[in-house]
Amino acid sequence: MHRRNRAPARLAWVFGFVFASLAAFGLAGGTGATAAENDNAIAMHGEPELPKGFDHLPYADPKASKGGRIIFGQQGTFDSLNPLVVLGVAPDAVPRYVQQSLLFRSADEPFTAYGLLASKVELNPERTRLAFQIDPRARFSDGKPVTAEDVIFTFEMLKTKGKPFHRSSLGRVTKVEAPSPDRVVFELGDGSNRELPLVIGAMPIFARHATDAEKFGDTSFKPALGSGPYLVEEVKPGEMLRLKRRKDFWAEDHPLTRGLFNADEIRYDFYRDSNALFEAFKAGLYDFRLESDPTRWMTGYDVPAVRDGRILRDTLRFQTPKGMTGLVFNTRRPQFADIRVREALAMLFDFEWANRNLFHSVYRRAGSFFADSELSALGVPADQREKAMLAAFPGAVRDDILAGTWAPTASDGSGRDRDQARRALDLLEAAGYRLRDGQLRKDDQKNGQDEVFGFEITVTNRPQERLALNYATSLARLGIAVSVRLIDDVQYWRRLSTFDFDMIQWTWPASASPGNEQIGRWGSVNAERKGALNYAGVRSPAIDMTLQALLAARSREDFVATVRTLDRLLLSGFYVVPLYYLPETWLARAREITLPERRPKFFFSTETLARLPSPPAPAN
């Protein structure tokens, strides 16, 4: 049970936490409108939906059962309890349950964050000046008050020792000061990064008096002192993390926490691989599971625990864009430098065959980085706003993508579509390759070169390996020599952090408000920065311009047009082989675990889970 796969943990938490605690916690937003008049909330568009003085979040159940224990299963390991710094692999438990932020996002709204540690928020319309008034009731678990100095300390630590996302975003703050112990003011430069107030509001606040500034960036199993509802009770490094509810939690009856954080104990158990993790769930060793494997969802739950009702399954739909899963071309490699080669290779993924034979036909074809939302450019002609943005970069977007007529190549589903192969070969020949003696070779007689075209797909688990082998078979029919290499998790992450790969499989989640995280993924500044997330090596002035426009957009209309422009530029660059996405969210749970009857609109919040009380033991 306890020899673990490090890479999935890192990918899920290190990448995921930056995104999930800003996007899933609502603060990876990227548009800007007028600051909300409600002085305890910031709305990115229009006004907050909830009035000042609201009783509880719409999807929270104040009458939910309190008490008991909820166990989460995780694949992988951990060697730190702080996922906000560069070193180490850490779960999200401490910033999610032990610490709190100045603002807290409702999962019912795409662009609104409400004051939690901050009882009052002030943001001028230009978004150049931001102030928080600290709630006088807010206390750390040692009883000491949360102060403006704690906020400034957290800001400085994340700006200098945090992950690249925080260093880049918070580096745009020009001044921060504490005019009083309970008030902190940020000067935000020219206000062009209109998401910055929410990034600041999302910071999990550290206690200055209990945090070693010199060792902040080091890996450590010492949990941060927080103001949240739980304390870390027990740590077994790499194996288990147990949290216990505080009896003196300052915000026990706060409108933002009423109906949330219902269990007396929360435990994270860690497993070495996905099969061990699933077997443990079926055996009742943990309580809640988000399922992403179609084969497992369709066939793996045909077990007694499901048939007799000990395990319940739910299918949920949210309004959040579905993002992109794809095979990433490392364009730093010479064989992928030609866009015609990348387009040809993307044509050769037979989605129709793979979906039917490998995935029970539950997937939809990915054709946008913001699928299933108004932010997607797929099938939508560019409007005048988009054309105006692209005017300085003629040819950056293909004509068919600009017109909304492009779609990923569809096959006949046979696994051997000759027409699809012919069109791909035409592109490869235009790029200087020829099929000779069953091998695709570079036709470069001038330089005396006759190289066989080939590359390696690096994978880190068996599902990725299965898909990669299927794709390699399709490419072999055109004489392309593809090897699939399954490596251990430590090697995998090390190679990703230095861009030492030809092709990998990756998933880019999407929020309803994409923003600063997009610079990390696609900005030229991150193309060679070790540890950055620009795995494709994208260097595009048009994309860089669009990313800045995305952060500066003031109206909803401008924002949508800017995100669609980004989508078109990414699609036109053929940086990935688009694979698929799930239109629904699948979750399984022990029958004692309850969900609120009213579900949030944009993402699932595990904080709403509760455990039914155990029935009394029968009398002797």
CATH number at residue 256: 3.40.190.10
| Residues linked to residue 133 through DSSP beta bridges, in sequence order | 120, 183
The answer on 493 and 373 residing in a single domain is yes
Q: Phi and psi dihedrals of 485, rounded to 5?
A: -120, 115
Asked if residue 182 belongs to a domain, the reply is: yes
| CA atoms lying within 13 Å on the CB side of residue 314 | 18
> Which residues in the chain show pLDDT less than 70?
1-38, 45, 444-449, 615-620
Residue-wise pLDDT tens digits, 546-572 = 999 998 888 889 999 999 999 999 999
The answer on 340 and 199 residing in a single domain is no
The answer on 210 and 167 residing in a single domain is yes
Asked if residue 317 belongs to a domain, the reply is: no
Rg for the chain, CA atoms, rounded = 25
Asked if residue 352 belongs to a domain, the reply is: yes
Which residues, 6 or more positions from 214, have their beta carbon under 8 angstroms from its beta carbon? none
Question: Which DSSP symbol is given to 179?
Answer: E
Residue-level pLDDT at 26: 34
Asked if residue 257 belongs to a domain, the reply is: yes
Please give the single-letter amino acid code of residue 230. Answer: Y
Q: What is the CATH number of the domain that holds 347?
A: 3.10.105.10
User: Token pair of 566, please?
Assistant: 């980004």
Q: Phi and psi dihedrals of 272, rounded to 5?
A: -75, -30
Judge contact between 114 and 34, C-beta under 8 A.
Answer: no
User: Token pair of 227, please?
Assistant: 């103001």
The answer on 273 and 193 residing in a single domain is yes
The answer on 172 and 71 residing in a single domain is yes
Which residues, 6 or more positions from 593, have their beta carbon under 8 angstroms from its beta carbon? 70, 287, 288, 609, 610, 611, 612
Task: State the Cα–Cα distance between residues 145 and 156, nearest whole angstrom.
Answer: 19
The answer on 589 and 525 residing in a single domain is no
Residue-level pLDDT at 620: 56
Structural domains of the chain, count:
2
pTM of the model: 0.82
Element (DSSP H or E) covering residue 244: strand 240-245
Asked if residue 432 belongs to a domain, the reply is: no
Residue-level pLDDT at 445: 60
- Find the domain containing 569 and state its range: 324-417+455-462+487-579
Question: Which DSSP symbol is given to 213?
Answer: G
The answer on 590 and 533 residing in a single domain is no
Judge contact between 57 and 108, C-beta under 8 A.
Answer: yes
The answer on 135 and 149 residing in a single domain is yes
Count other C-beta atoms under 10 Å from residue 228's C-beta.
Answer: 27
3-state secondary structure 312-359: EEEEECCCCCCCEEEEEECCCCHHHCCHHHHHHHHHCCCHHHHHHHHC
The answer on 527 and 381 residing in a single domain is yes
Element (DSSP H or E) covering residue 569: helix 556-573
Asked if residue 425 belongs to a domain, the reply is: no
Residue from 190, 287, 140 nearest 592 by CA: 287
The answer on 537 and 592 residing in a single domain is no
Residue-level pLDDT at 446: 60
The answer on 258 and 334 residing in a single domain is no
Question: Which DSSP symbol is given to 203?
Answer: P
Residue from 268, 269, 252, 270 nearest 260 by CA: 252
Q: Which residue do the tokens 């949360």 mark?
A: 146
The answer on 507 and 602 residing in a single domain is no
Asked if residue 141 belongs to a domain, the reply is: yes
Asked if residue 226 belongs to a domain, the reply is: yes
CB contact burial 73-87 (16+ within 10 A = b; e otherwise): bbbbbbebbbbbbee
Task: State the Cα–Cα distance between residues 411 and 420, nearest whole angstrom.
Answer: 7
